[in-house]
Every structure is written in structure tokens, then in C-alpha cells.
Amino acid sequence: MLLILNTLFVQTTSSLRCHFDRQCICYNIIEVQYVNCSKINITTIPILPSTTNILNLNFNLIVLISNGSFKNLKHLLELDLSWNKLKRLELGSFTGLSNLQKLKLEHNNLSLKWKSFPLGVFGPLKSLRHLNAKYNDRDGFLACTNVITNLKQLEKLEIDVDESPDCPNIDKGFSNLTNLKSFRTGYCDFTYLSSYTFENMKYLQFIDISRCSISEVHDGSFQDQKQLKVLNISHINFDIYDISTIVENFRSTPIQKLIMTRTLRDTVSLAWDDFFNCLKQSGIKELQMGGNSFVYVIVKYPLPPTLEIFDLSYNNLNKFQFEMPNLMQLKLQNNGLGKFLASNRYSKQSSKRLEYVDLSFNVIHKLHFTIFHDHPKLKTINLSYNILTDISFDFSTLRSLEMLNLSHNKILAFSEESRNAISNIAKSSSLKIDLSKNNLQCGCNTFPFIQWMLENRYIFIGIDTYRCNWMNNSVITIFPLRPIVLQLEKECTSYTVLIACITSGIALSCVVLVGGLAYRYRWRLRYVYHMTRSKYKRYRPILDEGHYTYDAFISYSDEEQEFLLKDIIPNLEQKENLKLCIHQRDFLPGEDITQNITNAIHESKKTVCIITRSFLDSYYCMFEFNMARMESIYSRGGQNILFLIFLEQIRPSELPLVMLELVQKQSYIEYPNDEQGNVVFWDKIKETLIT
């Protein structure tokens, strides 16, 4: 099989070999006869068929073109002799080439120094439109001789230039070349760039003087180029003043495309407002300003309304913001805009015609949410080679988006919002996304993303090369997606159940713990609650330390009302002049009962509890008892303010633990219920309450 293919190939190619020299290749495309004798180390020009139209002799070792070498090639249209060793042309070298339109002599050794160009050597080339003779002569003599003055048809000239004292104006001989539209330099050295430089080339539309060494720029160098469309001044070591001087010309001269790539090596800023002011009337459409050292470009005024393409790639930009009313392409790759664009937009207002934005290689970790808002025509966004981990920006408004290049980032997965936005756009446009070389995760937490990817796999370019981190940390290829989704589904259901169990387990223990704590500190909590409430709710006179409204708060169950009225009030209040707080009498009507209790306890020096079985059973009595306990602990520095009177015999086992503790501390007295004992009883109580 291989053998057959091989012989076939040899046959087809061998049939192309030219009969006059089997190293050359001859072929015919739509009546045009091509002869290609490139790179075969020939030193002389072969005898060629007179039907040849396009002849390629480049990359050979030809030194001399002798008289009459091409004299029978009257149908030749293009001749490429570039990259040879040409040192001499004879007067009759181009005899017969009356139809030649394009002649390339680039990269040879032709120089007037060794009289390479006899005067009139180009004479026979009556139809020549395009002459490329650049990279021959560092002294650039050809440009200032009469050798090419009669090439009236010439439209495009590429030539070496050296504005030396021997040749003051490069274009001395160009005044008859009224058809010349394009001028490009090879070796190039200008002492001055001035209004004389292009004086005689008034019809130029294209000027490329890139890589020239230019010592001085004078005013008005381009002011008479009323046809100018493109100016290439790349790779020149200009300073800002040179640029200002050049751009100043475009107040009166039209220009559509200005190329100044690596023109300003060490300049960090330009007078941007002036710069764009000069270009406002010029009709400028494209600005290439890459590879300079601009750091900061924020301008008050909008970009020129005609500007469509703006290239500021390969600078050091850390800030960039413009109003760009009609811009269509913005190229900002290879800058340092990451930090700025995290919280700012690059466009100040709506960019209604913007179609293409390149922000690759910018160390972007996050983009401002609204960065692409008001870009109704945006088709391509290149965010490759950044450090994005998700899509933080809103692109739900980008109805025309066709290409979102997110390759070489650190994206783990898309959030649900991003997924919905993408699905929505993809419905109405042919959106494609490049997600190659990211940190995609194939795990349970990204399962919805992987599943969504399967459903939308046609959106992703080169999806068969994507890789993701599997749950066990090994990296797998993501394609085909379906088995991955199935396996994730299997592994993650158990995982989901496990997560659910653990979560509810944790929640349950939290409830139990909080409940337990609340129960343990229930009295303290209630006390703090009521104290805080009373502080905010009621006006209370600030009591001096140790001064209380009441001497004692009597806590009793309603069944002991008789004992209260017949014994306590007469004995303590009437006889001893003590001030008691009795709930029936002293509580503020309208106030919450629990609040009243807390206030009463707080405003009384002591709290006396009349303990009976019904006291122990009463909710409010026990509330009063416990609140008094809390008061003694939290407001009275641990001083005991509780005093218990046992009206009935109660077994210790019937008492709550905290009450038993008080009994053990002797803070209680039993009611004797006989004449003599009562006297002692009331004395004891009085003593307790007064101290």
C-alpha cells in the first residue's frame, strides 16, 4: 500500500519537472505558466521556454545577469531574483521583458559602488509596476540616481535609502513616477525626516519606513501626502517629541492606518489627549501601537469616531480606559491589566460596534461584573492565558457572542449562573467556548457542571483534549463525557446520602446541645432577660448601694394568704415598721407578672419564701424562688438574700435540690405555731431582715 502511494507521488511530481532542468518545477494554472527554479544552487540563468509567465529564481547563487538572458521571455510577468549573489547587471540584462510587471531583486549585492546598475538598465521594463530592490546597498545609491527615473508605470517601489551628503534628497529622481503609490524601505538611514523627504512623491498611499534609523524629525514631513492611507513607522527609536511632530501632520493630512509597533522603546506615556486630537479629523481607522512601553492609558476624550481597530498589545499597561464609540477590535493581549480589570471596565460607555476583544496574557484573576455590558455586537472574547477560576463577569447580555476563548486558565467549573447564561446565548447564536488547559474538576461538587457539559458538549471546541481531576486526584481525559457522568452519578448518590446523614446528624446534636445548655442555664437566661428588659423599659431611680425600696419581698402561695394577713403583715409591717413587698398590693398593674416579680426581687433587700406544699407546686412561686437565687448570684455578689419559712413539715426528699442546699446553709426557720415559740420566731425573722 505504502509502496503504491509512494510511486504515485513520485510520478506526479516527476511529471512537473521541467525538461530544460530537472531540478526546476514547471506547472500551469489557468493558462499561467509557472517555472520554479528556487533553491537549486544555480549560478547562471537557464534557457527558459518563451511561454513562461511567472519565473522564480530565488535562493540561488547567480552573480551576473548577462546581456540578453531573458530576451525571448516576452510573456514574462513576474521575475523573482531575490536572495542571490547578484553583483552586476549588464545594460541588456532585461532586454525583452517588455511585459514584466513585477521584479524582485531583494537581498543581493547590487550597488553603485561597483557600478552594478548601468544607466538605462531598466529601460526595457516598460510595464514594470512593482520593483523590489531593497536590502542590496547600505549606501542606498539607487534611490538617488537616474537609473529608475523612467519607470513611469511604477506603482510600488521597495528600495534602500541613505540620505548621505552624496544624495541629499532620496526622491530626487522620483518626480516623474506619478503612479507611485507604495514606498517601502529596506536598509534605511535618514539624517532628517523633513518636508523635503517625500516632496516629489505626492501620490503615495502607503509609506513603510519601519526599521529606519532616523536622527531628526522636522515639522511637516507628511503634510503634503494628501493620498496617504497607511504609514508604518515600526521599529524606530523615536521619542515622544518625534511622535508628536509626526502626528501633528495628520491634522491636515488624511491617514487610515498608523502602525507604530515598537516605535517608542522607553516611553511610558504619551500626551494621549493631544495625540488623539491630531487624529480626530484624519479619518484614522486602525492604530497599531503594540510593543511599546506604555503603562497607563486613561483618557478624558473619546477615541476618534472613525477608529475601528486599536492594538495596544505587548505593552506594560496596568490601566486602560476609553470611551470607544465606534471601535470594532480591541487588542490588549500581553499587558498587566489583571488588577485593574478586576474592578474596572476598559470602556467608559457603550461600545455599540465592538466585535473583538483580546485580553489574553494579562494575569486576569477576575473581571468586573459589568465589563462586557453594552457590547451588543461582541463576537469574540479571548481570555486565554490568564488565571481565571470561574466566570465572574456577566455575559448574559452578549447576544452575538460566537467565541469565548478561556483556554489556559485555572477554571474548575462554571457556576449555575454562568451555565444558564451560556445555555441561553447558545440557543440564539453559534457560541463556541475553548476550555482547553484548565483545572476542570470531575467530582461530586462539580457533578451538575459535568452533566451540563455533556448536554452542551457541542459548544466546546477541542473537547476531546480536555482533562479533569478525578476524585482520587488522578487526571483523566474528559472525553467521552457520558461514562464519566454515569460514574459520577453512581459515586455521588451514596455520597449525597452520606452528606445528608452527616448534616442532619450535626444539626441534631447542635439542637440537643443548645437545648441542654438552655435548660441548664434556664434560670440565668430568664433572669438576664428580665433584668435587661426592665433596664430598658422602666424608669427606675438609681439606688445607692444597699438602699432598697423594700426591706423584703414576700413570696407565698395564694393559699397562705391568711397567714400573710393575720401574722406577717401585723408582726413585721405594723409592729416593726418594716416595708414589705406583697404581690397583691405592690405589683404594678399592667406590667407583665414575670417582670413585676424580677423588679420586686431586685428592689427588695431580701426575699422571704413561705414554703408549703402548694408553694412547691405553684409555677410562679418557684419562679420567684429561682429568680431570687439568680439575683443573689449575679447582682448581689453571692450574698444570700433568700430566707425560707417552713409553714408545714416537708420531707427533704420532697424538696428541690437547690432548696435543700439553702436548708443545709441554715437559711430557714420553721414556724412553731405556739405562743412562746412565735415570739422567738418573729424576733429571729426581724433580725434576719434588718441585718
Ligand X SMILES: *[C@@H]1O[C@H](CO)[C@@H](O)[C@H](O)[C@H]1NC(C)=O
* Pairwise CA distance, residues 363 & 349, whole Å: 24
User: Kind of pairing, strands 550-555 and 604-611?
Assistant: parallel
CB 274 within 8 A of CB 304: no
Q: Binding to ligand X by residue 56, rule CB under 6 A?
A: yes
Applying the rule CB under 6 A, the residues between 325 and 354 that interact with ligand X are 333
Residue of 6, 7, 28, 39 interacting with ligand X (CB under 6 A): 39
| Part of the chain binding ligand X (CB under 6 A), chosen from 124-132, 203-211, 295-303, 649-657 | 203-211
Q: Position 657: which residue type?
A: L
Containing H/E element for 17?
A: none
Containing H/E element for 330?
A: strand 329-331
CB of 504 to ligand X, least distance (A): 29
- Record the cell numbers describing residue 251, joined without a space: 491634522
Report the residue closest to ligand X, judged by CB: 382
* Pairwise CA distance, residues 50 & 119, whole Å: 27
| Part of the chain binding ligand X (CB under 6 A), chosen from 32-40, 292-300, 446-454, 639-647 | 32-40
Residue of 434, 560, 603, 624 interacting with ligand X (CB under 6 A): 434
Compare residues 97 and 645 and give the one whose CB is closer to ligand X.
97
Residue of 192, 272, 296, 470 interacting with ligand X (CB under 6 A): 470
CB of 532 to ligand X, least distance (A): 58
Compare residues 321 and 380 and give the one whose CB is closer to ligand X.
380
Q: Binding to ligand X by residue 132, rule CB under 6 A?
A: no
Q: Binding to ligand X by residue 140, rule CB under 6 A?
A: no
Give how many residues touch ligand X by CB under 6 A: 40
Q: Binding to ligand X by residue 176, rule CB under 6 A?
A: yes
- Record the cell numbers describing residue 634, joined without a space: 449575679
**Cis bond before residue 480 (omega within 30° of 0):** yes
* Pairwise CA distance, residues 688 & 680, whole Å: 12
Residue of 82, 132, 136, 382 interacting with ligand X (CB under 6 A): 382
How does DSSP assign 456-504, residue by residue? TGGGEETGGG-EEEETTS-EEE--SHHHHHHHHHHHHHHHHHHHHHHHH
Residue of 21, 49, 53, 87 interacting with ligand X (CB under 6 A): 87
Compare residues 134 and 629 and give the one whose CB is closer to ligand X.
134
Q: Binding to ligand X by residue 60, rule CB under 6 A?
A: no
Q: Binding to ligand X by residue 175, rule CB under 6 A?
A: yes
| Part of the chain binding ligand X (CB under 6 A), chosen from 33-41, 595-603, 618-626, 634-642 | 33-41
Q: Binding to ligand X by residue 67, rule CB under 6 A?
A: yes
Residues 6 or more apart in contact with residue 258 via CB below 8 angstroms? 230, 231, 233, 250, 279, 284, 286, 287, 288
- Record the cell numbers describing residue 279, joined without a space: 487624529
Neighbour-count burial of 627, counting CB atoms closer than 10 A to its CB (0-12 exposed, 13-18 middle, 19+ buried): buried
Q: Binding to ligand X by residue 412, rule CB under 6 A?
A: no
CB 155 within 8 A of CB 205: no
Q: Binding to ligand X by residue 234, rule CB under 6 A?
A: yes
* Pairwise CA distance, residues 6 & 2, whole Å: 6
Binding site residues, ligand X, CB under 6 A? 36, 38-41, 56, 67-68, 85, 87, 90-92, 109, 146, 149, 173, 175-176, 208, 210-211, 232, 234-235, 259, 333, 358, 360, 380, 382, 384, 403, 405, 407, 434, 461, 470, 472, 474
